[in-house]
Amino acid sequence: MDAGGGGGGGGEDFEADDAGDDGPINGEFTGEDIRFAKLFTVEFPNENAGAPIDPPDGDSEHSENADDNPWAPFNSQLEWEIAKWAKLRRQGSTAFSDLLAIPGVRERLGLSYSNSRELNKIIDDELTSRRPRFQRTEVVVQNEVCELYYRDIIECIRSLWADKDLTPHLIFKPVKHYTDAEHKNRVYHDMHTAKWWWETQLALDGEAEGGTVIPILISSDKTTLTTFGGKSAYPIYMTIGNIPKELRRKPSCHAQILLGYLPIASFEHVPTASRRRTRTNLFHYCVNFILSPLQEAGENGINLQSGDNVWRRCHPIFATFVGDYPEQLLVTCIKTGECPLCTAKRKDIGSSLHHAPYRDLETISTAFDSVNSGATIFRRTCQDAGVKPVQNPFWRHLPYFNIYQSITPDVLHQLYQGVVKHLVSWLRKAYGDAEIDARCRRLPPNHQLRQFLKGITNLSRVTGKEHAQISRILLGIIIDAKPLQPHTTRRAKDLVHAIRNFLDFLFHVQYPIHTTTTLRDLLTDLNDFHKHKEVFIQLGIRKNFNIPKLHSLEHYFDMIQFYGTTDNYNTEYTERLHIDFAKEAFRSTNMKDEFPQMTLWLERREKTFEHEQLIHHHLARPASLSVRPPSLQQPWRLTMTKRPTVNHVLVEDLVSKYKATHFEQALSRFIFARQHPLYSWRRVEQEAHEIVLPDVPYPVYHYIKFVVDHHLKSETVDIIHAKPARSDKRGRMIPPRFDTALLSQSGNNRPRDYQVVQVHAIFTLPMSIVSEFLADDPDFGIPDNLSSSNTSIEEDRSPIHLAYVDMFTKFGTVNDVHSLYQIKRLVKDSEQVSRIVPISYLHRSVHLFPKFGPRADPSWTSSNVLDRCEHFFVNEFSDRNMYVLLNSD
């Protein structure tokens, strides 16, 4: 009977690895970590591109805030910190004034301001900001006055370019990266590695050699400000592609700027037939008003000084527009139901495997030029060109810009809120709500996944994050389910194939780094999905696939090559900006005539942020923003709490409560294997009974955490739980949770080198056991400078954390339909094989799909399914790291 065992003995000795380090993955670049690969770089041929220039006449370096008081105009650090807290912590100005009005508070703190009004006056009058102030103008359309709040876009660019924290990371010219010396396998990640920047730099050098391209990324999206009452805002944002994408997408880096609030007009007095056209013309007029300075600046260039006092001749050029489908149609002047990029016909927009040609900008511009030829001719000409009759699209005269090749993919709305949403509704028709929800309720828990204990069919107003979570379990809940409609075995397989192909596309398309190889994989996934999706028509679920968001998948291949990976322009970032620049700003107002108050509130916050940056630089403590090299996998680090969750757990409790059934046998084998590292595993099993363990309690931990280190902080990215049943504060029983994990048996990160285990107990050895059995072990032994009688040994030594685990079978071949690995519990002589291993051998958590069969067993629950189910499939869609890991061979 192989009831237990210890890692570290004989032929099956586990090789220790750095905890949480993902390292390079062998095989093709699909699973390779670019940080460890040799890159072959091709520099832009013109050495003058992006080069510094001589400072303009009269410019000299100057030091800001040379006052001896670094917190000026505040008298002390305390006064500044309180001011910062008042402006950034989002409490009301009245509450802050009431606090300072308490007798003695202001005097004891030594504050020079006594209420919010006086603090605001200091900020308004004495703090400076690189960012321009908001301006207001009126636009009269159809006798309705519309207010436009905007900023000078050139000054906004200047402020980003001069940011001292961002300056060390600015990118000045394009490059080409390859993984091979023959330059066949190109690498794409940030914008400067893609084709647009290279081609634009070539075009710019033909007109004005030696300039620095500043790619301008514009995004706009209407958002609601109130749950009730119907108030909305229409913010428009800007950032520059010279800032690495890792910094651009972090709100704390302040690399995105609010350009303004576009007017939202009802035009109720305008006839319905022309109301939408009126709104479209208003949008283009206002955006043109804001972006018009880019025309001359893009053509002739402007001199900009970066935060290190270096000057360059810069050409800000509109590169991409980021928005959802309605915004894309609005910007491109294309009709609803059509593609904003290509000329695909509406009747077959979702069925083509190869997209139609991109729209011809010259032809469309000619149509817009006929605006003065009379309304009838103008409408007919625009109709023939396939566009709406917009009087003056804002992008018509911008240099080096083609709007029909600048609409970037939208992962949030096209994939999660688009295709995933459709797939869920189609699968509900195929399998029925009851069966889908039953399977969702019986999936085991995992840190990477949300549990839908009430199912997914009754969710209302499903968010993008919820659809992202649903996509991670979608394949597992239909693998072997029986469709409701009359079907053949072939159709049932095609259903699974279609979901698998789309999920492969979904995960591939979100890689933070792509190569020619991975992009070919992307096309293969898409073509396979198109081939198998016909099953939904065969089952009567769909009549056609004329869905614009489904058609948009055709353009990801080109856009990634042209503008870099999709995390350069994901609309998730725009959605996140709404919180700071619209919703929080609105909550700071009295909700009457809100936009003047919102813009003033934002200006004060920006001044506060910039003053904080100024103080840090004055004190020689600038924020060191870190940019990790691009990679498919993040380096994880295993960490444990300093103190155990439970200090004293008896063996009988480990057996009964933690289900560590063969704990003593497993620990005996572990210790014997450590004592005799050259013994074979068979001999360890035969002779480990010689170890007689004392009856002592064990310190037990309930979590293993994996973190990613960022600058000044760590982020928890994964947790392995091993907790017994317990009751909450209201006396309700919470079932036990013993997570499954990946056990690394070698230093290679390949699927065949891992084994799934279920973790039941995480513990350290008491000092009495270490002293008696492992005193000579270099990992467990007592330091020479400590005697056995020293009472501080337990505190001074670094404990080796161990885990009692139940073993599963090794990975074999993948299923030919859904391509997932199938495993089951490892049993020998009718007993579960269990072992004790150092936790450093646990690579990460892993989620398992139960093999439900045609119908889910009603006796299974989320908490007992790991015990009652016999066969499982390894979920490789729990997160990107897992997907890359299991697809690396």
Q: Confidence band (pLDDT; 50, 70, 90) for 27?
A: very low
Q: Which DSSP category does 627 fall into?
A: -
The strand pair at 311-322 and 212-220 is best described as parallel
Sign of the four-CA dihedral 697, 702, 705, 711 = negative
**Alpha-carbon span 147 to 368, nearest angstrom:** 26
CA distances from 261 to 144, 266, 291, 444 (A): 17, 16, 13, 46
- What tens digit of pLDDT does each residue of 353-399 get? 567 899 999 999 999 999 999 999 999 999 999 999 999 999 999 99
Q: What is the pLDDT of residue 188?
A: 96
> Range with the lowest mean pLDDT among 284-293, 326-335, 592-601, 798-807?
798-807
Q: Are 534 and 548 in contact (CB under 8 A)?
A: no
Written as six digits, the tokens of 32 are 């390779």
> Residue 405 and residue 609: Cα distance in Å, rounded?
36
Q: What is the pLDDT of residues 443-487, one digit of tens each?
A: 999 999 999 999 999 998 999 999 999 999 999 999 999 999 877
Q: Which residues, in sequence order, are bridge partners of residue 366?
A: none
* Mean model confidence pLDDT for the chain: 89
Per-residue confidence band for 622, with pLDDT thresholds at 50, 70 and 90: confident
Q: Name which of 395, 632, 408, 415 is nearest 525 in CA terms.
A: 415
Of the listed ranges 145-159, 187-201, 221-235, 778-792, the one predicted with least confidence: 778-792
More confidently predicted of 241 and 684: 241
Measured CA angle at 190 (ends 187, 191), to 5 deg? 105
The pairing of beta strand 713-723 with beta strand 726-727: unpaired
Evaluated on CA atoms 118, 122, 125, 131, the torsion sign reads negative
Domain segments of the chain: what residues?
10-21+633-764+799-812+827-844, 24-64+129-333, 77-126, 334-389, 411-563
Predicted confidence (pLDDT) at residue 699 exceeds the cutoff of 70: yes
| The predicted structure's pLDDT at residue 48 | 92
- Taking residues 775-786, report their average pLDDT: 64
Q: Give the strands of the sheet with 822-824, arranged side by side.
A: 822-824, 871-875, 847-850
| Distance (Å, whole) CA 303 – CA 660 | 70
What backbone phi and psi angles, to 5 degrees, belong to 21? -90, 120
Check residue 627 and give its pLDDT: 81
Reported confidence tier of residue 60, pLDDT bands at 50, 70, 90 = low
Cis check: omega of the bond before 73, within 30 degrees of 0: yes
Task: Grade residue 789 by pLDDT with cuts at 50, 70 and 90.
Answer: very low
Distance from C-alpha of 18 to C-alpha of 856, rounded to nearest angstrom: 40
| Rounded Cα distance, 163 and 232, in Å | 31
> What's the rounded Cα separation, in Å, for the pair 318 and 217?
7
**Is residue 213 a contact partner of residue 201, using CB atoms and an 8 Å limit?**
yes
- Give 697: exposed, middle or buried? Use CB within 10 Å, 0-12, 13-18, 19+: middle
The larger pLDDT score, comparing residue 207 to residue 213, is at 213
Ramachandran assignment for 9, one of left (phi > 0), alpha (psi -120 to 50 degrees), beta (any other): beta
Distance of alpha carbon 840 from alpha carbon 838, whole angstroms: 5
Taking phi over 0 as left and psi of -120 to 50 as alpha, with beta for the rest, 192 belongs to alpha
Calculate the CA dihedral of residues 180, 568, 21, 710 and round it to 10 degrees. Answer: 140
Tell me the per-residue pLDDT of 557-583, one tens digit each, with 9 for 90 and over: 999 999 999 999 999 988 889 999 999
- In this prediction, residue 655 carries a pLDDT of 96
For helices 375-385 and 361-369, the axis angle rounded to 10 degrees is 170
Q: How confident is the model at residue 347 (pLDDT cuts 50, 70, 90)?
A: confident
Please count the other Cβ atoms lying within 10 Å of the Cβ belonging to residue 20: 23
Provide the terminal-to-terminal Cα distance of the chain, rounded to the nearest Å: 34
Task: State the pTM of this model.
Answer: 0.91
**Separation between Cα atoms, residue 298 and residue 660, nearest integer Å:** 69
805-820 mean pLDDT: 91
Q: Which residues pair with 146 in a beta bridge?
A: 139
Beta strands 175-178 and 186-188 are antiparallel
d(CA 537, CA 423): 13
Q: Could you say which DSSP state residue 769 is in?
A: H
- In the chain, what percentage of residues exceed pLDDT 70? 92
- How large is the average pLDDT for residues 291-295? 97
With a cut of 70, say whether residue 194 has pLDDT above it.
yes
Residue linked to tokens 């939904």: 536
Give the per-residue SS3 of 797-835. CCCCCEEEEEEEEECCCECCCCCCEEEEECEECCEECEE
pLDDT tens figures, 61-118: 555 555 678 999 999 999 999 999 999 987 788 899 999 999 999 999 999 999 999 9
Secondary structure of 290-357 in the HEC alphabet?
Answer: HHCHHHHHHHHCEEEECCCCCEEEEEEEEEEEECCHHHHHHHHCCCCCCCCCECCCHHHCCCCCCCCC
- Give the DSSP letter string of 516-571: HHHHHHHHHHHHHHHHHTTHHHHTTS-S----HHHHGGGGHHHHHHHH--GGGS-H
Residue 333 banded pLDDT, cuts 50, 70, 90: very high
Closest C-alpha to 285, from 150, 401, 387: 150
pLDDT digits (tens, 9 = 90+) for 394-452: 999 999 999 999 999 999 999 999 999 999 999 999 999 999 999 999 999 999 999 99
Calpha distance 48→193 (Å, rounded): 18
Question: What is the C-alpha separation between 262 and 82, in angstroms, rounded?
Answer: 34
Check residue 722 and give its pLDDT.
97
Candidates 390, 341, 382, 342; CA nearest to 364 is 382
d(CA 798, CA 813): 40
For residue 2, pLDDT over 70 is answered with no
Neighbours of 62 (CB within 10 A): 7
Rg (CA), the chain: 31
**Is the sign of the CA dihedral 295, 298, 301, 306 positive or negative?**
positive
Least confident of 20-24, 148-152, 705-709: 20-24
Amino acid at position 419, single letter: V
**In degrees to the nearest 10, what's the CA dihedral of 539, 412, 153, 617?**
-170
For residues 714-729, give the mean pLDDT.
93
Do the Cβ atoms of 826 and 12 come closer than 8 Å? no
pLDDT at residue 7 in the model: 40
Q: What is the pLDDT of residue 449?
A: 96
pLDDT of residue 10: 35
Chain centroid to Cα 349, Å, comes to 29
Whether the per-residue pLDDT at 337 is higher than 50: the answer is yes
User: Rounded to the nearest 10 degrees, how much is the dihedral formed by the CA atoms of 787, 791, 796, 800?
Assistant: 90
- According to the model, what pLDDT value does residue 394 have? 96
Predicted pLDDT of residue 66: 52
